[in-house]
Amino acid sequence: MKINRREFLSFLASGCLLASYGLKPTFSFPESKLVPTEAKFWEKSGEGTTHCLLCPNGCIRGEGERSRCGVRETRGGELKTLVYSSPCVLALDPVEKCPLFHFTKGGNALSIATAGCNLSCGYCQNWQFSQKKPEEVECFSLPPSQVVDKAKEYKASSIAFFYTEPTIAYEYILDIATEAKKVNFPTIMVTAGYINPEPLKTLLPLIDSFTIGLKGFSEKYYSEVIGGTLRPVLSTIETVAAAKNHFEIVTLLLPTLNDNFDDIKKGMKWFAKLFGRNIPYHFSRFSPQYKLKRLPPTPIQTLETARRIAQEEGLNYVYTGNVPGHEGNHTYCPKCKNTIIERLGFQILKNNLNAGKCPSCGEVIPGVWS
C-alpha cells in the first residue's frame, strides 16, 4: 500500500486502519474479551477429554488444557476456540504480498489474523503473533458480520486470511467467508496447508484463492524445522487442485536446510506431473528471523537456480520473491516470451494483459483477472 504523508496523517487522525508493510495498526475497534466459542471438528475422547480433528496434530486434551495451536481449549468437556471474532492483526496489503501474482481484483486486501499456529517454523516472520496465545497479544473485537463492511469501508477488493495460520481460527474464517460469499466478495487463504481433509472440503466452496506454503521437500525438514509432517500438506495441495480452486505455491528457501537442488528437482518433477505447467510457483528469499538468525539470507543465485530447475521441469510461471527488481518478479508469456506484467516487489508497474491474454500472440495467461 503506497500512501503519501497527507493520507498517512489523515488515517492517523481518523483512528482507522494503518497496518501495511509492518506498521502497527491503530483501530477504532474495541478490545476483544476472548469469549470461548464452540469449536468445530472434534470428538469426546474420554471423560472430560476432547480429541481435536481440525489438523494432523490431533491434540487430545483434558479439562483446561490447550491444543498445540494455543487457541483451542477443553472447557466443561467441550472443545472451545478462544479467537472467534478476535483478530490481533488487521492490515491493508497488496494481493501480490500473499503472494498471489495470478489473482488480481483491482485493489488491496484486508488481511486478518489471529494469535496462534499449529506449526512451529523456526524462521517465522510473525512469531510475535503466531507463537503466542491470544491472551498474550492485543486482540480486537471484529465479528464476522462486520468484516465485509470494514473491507469495503477501507476500499479493499478482497479479504485475506494472512500473517498467521488461518486454520487454527477455523470457525472465525468459515463464518467470515460465508458472509463474503453471500455478496460475492473475494476471499484469500494464505496457509501452510496443515489441515485435515474434512475441514478443508468445507472451506473449498467459500475461498476464492489459496496461497499454500510448501515449506520444503522432505519429511526430515518438516520434522526438524517446521514441527509437522509433509504428507498432509501434499494432500491439501492435491485436494485444492482437484476442486479447481485458484491456488499458488510458495517455498521459502533456507540456506543449508531446504535448498538442496536434487530435492528441489524431485519436488518440481512431482509438482509438474500432478498439476501441470500453469500453476504459479514462488521461490522466496529467507531473511534471518526468530530462532534462525544464525543463518545468512538466501543467496540470490540459489533462487535463480531453483527457478531455472522449475522451468526446466516444465513450469511456465515461476517467480522470485523478496528480491525487488529481479526479473523473477515479472510474468512472461510462455509462448512468445514477452513481458505481460511488470512488477517491482509487490507493486505492479505495468499490466499488459488483454482480457486475460498476451497482447502480442493471444496466448491465454491462466489466472483470475479483474
Cell of 360: 502480442
Q: Where are the beta strands (DSSP E) in the chain?
A: 37-38, 42-46, 49-52, 60-61, 72-75, 78-81, 89-94, 103-104, 108-113, 158-161, 187-191, 209-213, 246-253, 281-285, 318-321, 331-332, 339-344, 347-351, 368-369
Quick: pLDDT tens for 246-271: 999 999 999 999 999 999 999 999 99
What contacts 270, CB < 8 A, 6 or more positions away? none
DSSP code of 136? G
Confidence of residue 207 (pLDDT cuts 50, 70, 90): very high
% of the chain surpassing 90 pLDDT: 88
CA distances to 58, 234, 240 from 195, in Å:
10, 11, 12
Q: With a cut of 50, say whether residue 14 has pLDDT above it.
A: no
Answer for the pair 304, 284: CB distance below 8 angstroms, yes or no.
Answer: no
The domain covering 89-369 belongs, at the CATH homologous superfamily level, to Aldolase class I (3.20.20.70)
Q: Could you tell me the strand order of the sheet in which 60-61 lies? A: 42-46, 49-52, 60-61
DSSP H or E segment with residue 345: none
Quick: pLDDT tens for 185-202: 999 999 999 999 999 999
Would you kindly state where each structural domain of the chain is located, as residue ranges?
37-81, 89-369
Q: Which of 341, 274, 286 is nearest to 313 (CA)?
A: 274
Q: Which of 14, 16, 34 is nearest to 25 (CA)?
A: 16
Cell of 311: 522451468
Whole-prediction pTM = 0.91
Q: How far apart are CA 44 and CA 47, in angstroms?
A: 8
Confidence of residue 29 (pLDDT cuts 50, 70, 90): low
pLDDT at 105: 75
Q: How far apart are CA 99 and CA 370, in angstroms?
A: 17
Answer for the pair 167, 194: CB distance below 8 angstroms, yes or no.
Answer: yes
pLDDT at 146: 96
